[in-house]
Amino acid sequence: MEIIVASSVGILTAGGVYLILRLRTFPVILGLALLSYAVNVFLFASGRLAIDQSPILSKYGEATYTDPLPQALVLTAIVISFGMTAVLVMIGLGAFLEADSDKIDIEAEDDSKEVQP
Amino acid sequence: MHWIILPVVLPAMVAPLIGFVMRWDITLARSASVATTILLVGISIGLAVMASGGETFLYKLGNWPAPFGIVLVLDRLSALMVLLTTVLALIVLIHAIATGWDNRGRHFHALFQFQLMGICGAFLTGDVFNLFVFFEVLLIASYGLMIHSGGKDRMRAGLQYVVMNLAGSTLFLFALGTLYASTGTLNIADLAERIPQIPPEEAALVRVAAILLMIVFAVKAALFPVQFWLPATYANAPAPVAALFAIMTKVGAYAILRVHTTAFGPGIPGTEGLAGTWLFPAAIVTIAIGAIGVLGARRLMPLIGFSVVGSMGTLLVAVAAFSPTATSAALYYMVHSTFAAACLFLIADLVVSRRSADRLIPEPATVQNGLFAALFFAAAIAMAGMPPLSGFLGKLLVLDAMREPGVMGWAWSAILIGSLLTILGFARAGSTLFWKSTAMTPEADNSGLEDVAPPNHATALQVAPSMLALAVLAALAAFAGPVSAYLEDTSAQLFDRDGYVAAVLEQPEEG
């Protein structure tokens, strides 16, 4: 199971970084979404991987439990990244409509001619 | 003891009220926003007085004991930062209202209050994950403020800013996951207690987490090599928002100070010297980038943005030493550079709004050319670090703290040469904007753009915020003795790791 979790975090991160480096609005949004999936799985793994264990202490003593804190962290991270993606989509749409281009890079403006009046 | 949470709760309650109830009535929104900010200044003065005794106060949310629940911690450093934030916010808010910036788009005041909530929360929290949450709060408000009033360039620069910070947030989460996996806690005091127990040969994951966290904070603090977003963002943001953002870079510097001193700081075998080793050269390069950028800028707003980059470099050179003397110098310079940068942006707004654009080219002199020139001159010498304002004293303190061999040569030459280049850049900009403009004859006006707007005099209220910021800088220089004595106590408290851990983790039960 470790190899599956580790490689999925790695592949999601690699895909996310690649898409962000495309520097166009839509791939970048997808890339950031992939990155946030990767980090969510990663946060889960930070509380040690466990199967079939509840995240609460059992009152019957012997039953082991899995760490509940990473689950709370992941929940917070999911909510925040979901909201942020929505904001990013709106700002990206606004920038596309204003500038008529979905490039994220801003090319250097040519203001050399205006220096000498 | 509920005072500690008020700087977070008060704006959090007022902001939705302004957003939903007062959205159609700008006068009502303005009065609510100003009243809240004045209240916040009062509260933060109260908190600063409370913390000045040297005690560390704790606020347990939901009354859960420290390592399990989230805590807010008030010590001298966080009280100082909250006070700095609220005073700056009041100055910026008056400027935004007086110049009408707040009415050029929707929801300025609601976003402004959310921004204050995030910044104050980030300064007060005692938990690294909670720090992440407050970072997100202040960032999401700053996205809205950054693109306030819209426009092509602003939207595109805003998109860049958002993408940059979202990538940074993801990195923050990776760092927190690594830290939790290796230590089992995210409470700063608990981290400070557990990390020293990890033997150095097993601390590799902790070191990775420490460096990842430093990269994240460096993005906020505009440190090389992740400084490139700052000039474009500050140059395209509305000027009052850029002035408020002067505190945002300091959030990054504060987080490095707090986390890397308390949790990964000196005296801990696993991570000792790690942060300083990387921070110092990066800060030196940051100073160089800032100075060269100031010298090469062709527009006024990016010029000020680069001077902010340079001042962050100077600040982080002092932070990188991780010693009490250097930290108190860094704190003095931090207070100074926040007000100096904000003041420059506010004055630049007054100047640029009366010209065709913010390009550094001679244009016919505007009304009140002398007044603006004097204000710009005063703010520029403060930023560049010339006497008599506090920039000179701040840089002097930083230089004085950097006396170790091996550090001194790099730090002194970077700061001194950087200051010289900054002075040259500002002198060039000021003489183009104000002197060459007076030399132009009014006839030359016809060759350029038609003068659309009639000359509009700056009202007293529009100039007052910049004057106020300058007055703060002058006061900081005049009362440098008491201020630096207080800051020495502050950094002594910051380096007293055992005191912090004891105050947070072993708080006696109280009703």
A95 contacts chain B (CB < 8 A): yes
B160 contacts chain A (CB < 8 A): yes
B169 contacts chain A (CB < 8 A): yes
Q: What is the pLDDT of residue B2?
A: 85
Q: What is the pLDDT of residue B139?
A: 93
CA dihedral (B182, B187, B188, B191) positive or negative:
negative
Percent of chain B with pLDDT over 70: 96
Distant-in-sequence, close-in-space partners of B93: CB < 8 Å, separation ≥ 6: B33, B34, B37, B112, B240
A27 contacts chain B (CB < 8 A): no
A9 contacts chain B (CB < 8 A): no
- Please name the residues between 409 and 468 in chain B that touch chain A, using a CB distance below 8 Å: 448
pLDDT in tens, B203-220: 888 999 999 999 999 999
Q: What is the pLDDT of residue B25?
A: 87
The whole-number average pLDDT for the span B88-102 is: 93
A83 contacts chain B (CB < 8 A): yes
Say yes or no: ipTM exceeds 0.95. Answer: no
Q: What is the pLDDT of residue A112?
A: 47
The whole-number average pLDDT for the span B130-158 is: 90
CA dihedral (B248, B253, B256, B257) positive or negative:
negative
pLDDT in tens, B407-454: 888 999 999 999 999 999 999 999 888 888 777 655 544 444 544 455
The single-letter DSSP state of residue B196 is: G
Task: Give the amino acid at A81.
Answer: S
Least confident of A16-25, A96-105, B279-288, B466-475: A96-105
Q: Which of the two residues, A115 and B112, has the higher pLDDT score? A: B112
Contact A106 B178 (CB under 8 A): no
Q: How far apart are CA A111 and CA B359, in angstroms?
A: 9
Of B254, B249, B200, B195, which is closest to residue B226 (Cα–Cα)?
Answer: B249
Say which of A83, A98, A117 has its CB closest to residue B362: A117
What six digits make up the tokens of B496?
A: 């007293």
pLDDT in tens, B163-205: 999 999 999 999 999 999 888 889 999 999 888 888 888 888 8
Comparing alpha-carbon positions, the chain B residue that sits nearest to A77 is B173
Q: What is the pLDDT of residue A61?
A: 65
Q: How far apart are CA B59 and CA B73, in angstroms?
A: 6
3-state secondary structure of B60: strand
Q: What is the pLDDT of residue B143?
A: 92
A42 contacts chain B (CB < 8 A): yes
CB B483 within 8 A of CB B476: yes
Q: What is the pLDDT of residue B275?
A: 85
Which residues does chain A have within 8 Å of residue B160's beta carbon, measured at their own beta carbons? 104, 106
CB B176 within 8 A of CB B208: no
Q: Which pLDDT band holds residue B363 (cuts at 50, 70, 90)?
A: confident
Which residues does chain B have within 8 Å of residue A111's beta carbon, measured at their own beta carbons? 298-299, 359
Q: How far apart are CA B3 and CA B282, in angstroms?
A: 38
Q: Which pLDDT band holds residue B92 (cuts at 50, 70, 90)?
A: very high
Angle between helices B300-320 and B408-430 (to 10 degrees): 160
Of B378, B104, B359, which is closest to residue B241 (Cα–Cα)?
Answer: B104
Which residues does chain B have within 8 Å of residue A15's beta carbon, measured at their own beta carbons? none
pLDDT in tens, B228-275: 889 989 989 999 999 999 999 999 999 999 999 988 888 888 787 888
pLDDT in tens, A58-103: 666 666 777 888 888 999 999 999 999 999 999 999 889 988 888 8
Q: Which pLDDT band holds residue B305 (cuts at 50, 70, 90)?
A: very high
B129 contacts chain A (CB < 8 A): yes
Q: B57-60 and B71-74: which strand pairing?
A: antiparallel
Q: What is the pLDDT of residue B448?
A: 47
CATH of A2-50+64-105, one of 1.10.3470, 1.10.287, 1.20.120, 1.10.1200: 1.10.287
Comparing alpha-carbon positions, the chain B residue that sits nearest to A37 is B170
Distant-in-sequence, close-in-space partners of B334: CB < 8 Å, separation ≥ 6: B84, B250, B253, B254, B315
Q: In B242-262, which positions are buried (b, 16+ CB within 10 angstroms) versus exposed (e)?
A: bbbbbbbbbbbbbbbbbbbbb
3-state secondary structure of B73: strand
Whether pLDDT at B456 is above 50: yes
Of B170, B189, B428, B410, which is closest to residue B299 (Cα–Cα)?
Answer: B428
Distant-in-sequence, close-in-space partners of A111: CB < 8 Å, separation ≥ 6: B298, B299, B359
A87 contacts chain B (CB < 8 A): yes
3-state secondary structure of B43: helix
Distance from CA of B166 to the nearest CA of A (A): 7
Q: How far apart are CA B215 and CA B204, in angstroms?
A: 17
Q: What is the pLDDT of residue B252?
A: 94
Contact B180 A47 (CB under 8 A): yes
CB B89 within 8 A of CB B44: no
B157 contacts chain A (CB < 8 A): yes
Structural domain boundaries in chain B: 2-442+460-504
- How does the average pLDDT of chain B come out, rounded? 89
Whether pLDDT at B27 is above 60: yes
Q: What is the pLDDT of residue B503?
A: 87
Phi, psi of B366 (to 5 degrees): -85, 175
Contact A32 B167 (CB under 8 A): yes
Q: What is the pLDDT of residue B508?
A: 59
Contact B169 A95 (CB under 8 A): no
Of A97, A10, A110, which is closest to residue B156 (Cα–Cα)?
Answer: A97
Phi, psi of B299 (to 5 degrees): -125, 155
Distance from CA of B157 to the nearest CA of A (A): 8
